[in-house]
Amino acid sequence: MLDSSRLDALADEIEKAGAYAREMQKKIHRSFKSDGSVLTEADTEISHRIINVIHTLFPEAAVISEEEDTENINDPEWIFILDPIDGTDVYSQGLPSFAVSLGILNSKREPVGAYIAAPRFGIGREDMFIRLDPGKKALLNGTEIVLDGNKDIITEITMGSKGAKELDFSHFNGKVRVFGSTIIHILSPAVFSSIEGTVVQKCYAWDIAASHAVIRSLGMDLEDERGEIFTYSDDFIFKKQRLESVLYGGTKTGRETLRNTLPPLN
């Protein structure tokens, strides 16, 4: 098991990384990776820091990071999946909706833990920190998360900015919020009373693992366009393959509504 003292130290490092990202935001310079996505100095620095911390605290675990490749042990008991800054594009433009995100998968490849620092995207305060130790309750700034509102009735959702050209909106009558961070999008039904669901397009493991763990701990989940609960393959995790299908997040009833009202165009 992952003992609480090591998890305390890890949570502290993720919060520090969020504070570092906030401090660096006004100083960063945008660059671009080969796929055209945005990269900043903060992404690479946070990746180095957190990977080193995980290797020190949890030598028995595998680590996957968006920004660098790591050597991993075979068949690990725990897999840590890191997005140093989810929402790098909006982060690099000075917007507040970004997050340092670390998800934990167990040996069955189930998302069971999460540490998410959104240092400029709070609820009634400047920052938001989510902590979900494996086997424990999800906490928002130290307080247990309790779902607020009827999440079965879809009136407001989150999704990525390309949803308008990839999904059929002809039967959808609700509101759509776009924050620029997939981690925050998936997390939103858990922390915002007026948001009931989310739609995710073309994602990687680091885009979803942490928030997926949080919503699963609250009785929600992610499923694909066929209605099948999403599972993590080794290719998706270790080979960093992109998932091309659409994922729908929320309660079972909410996910069914989203599949029926927001199908892919192709």
3-class secondary structure per residue, 154-200:
CCEEEECCCHHHHECCCCCCCEEECCCCHHHHHHHHHHCCCCCEEEE
Domain spans in the chain, listed from the N-terminal domain onward: 4-144, 156-261
Q: What is the pLDDT of residue 181?
A: 97
Whether 245 contacts 208, CB under 8 Å: no
- Count CA atoms closer than 13 A to 24's CA, side-chain side: 21
Q: What is the CATH number of domain 156-261?
A: 3.40.190.80
Mean predicted confidence (pLDDT) in 137-163: 96
pLDDT at position 146 over 70: yes
The CATH fold of domain 4-144: Fructose-1,6-Bisphosphatase; Chain A, domain 1 (3.30.540)
DSSP 26-71: TT---EE-TTS-EE-HHHHHHHHHHHHHHHHH-TTSEEEESSS---
The per-residue pLDDT for range 1-60, each reduced to its tens digit, is 789 999 999 999 999 999 999 998 888 766 666 565 666 788 889 999 999 999 999 999
**35: phi > 0 → left, psi -120 to 50 → alpha, else beta; which?**
alpha
pLDDT above 70 as % of the chain: 96
Q: What is the pLDDT of residue 63?
A: 96
Q: Which of 107, 118, 109 is nearest to 21 (CA)?
A: 118
Q: Do domains 4-144 and 156-261 have the same CATH topology?
A: no
Query: What is the residue-averaged pLDDT of the chain?
Result: 93
Q: What is the pLDDT of residue 32?
A: 60
Q: Which two tokens stand for residue 66?
A: 């968006």
Q: What is the pLDDT of residue 27?
A: 81
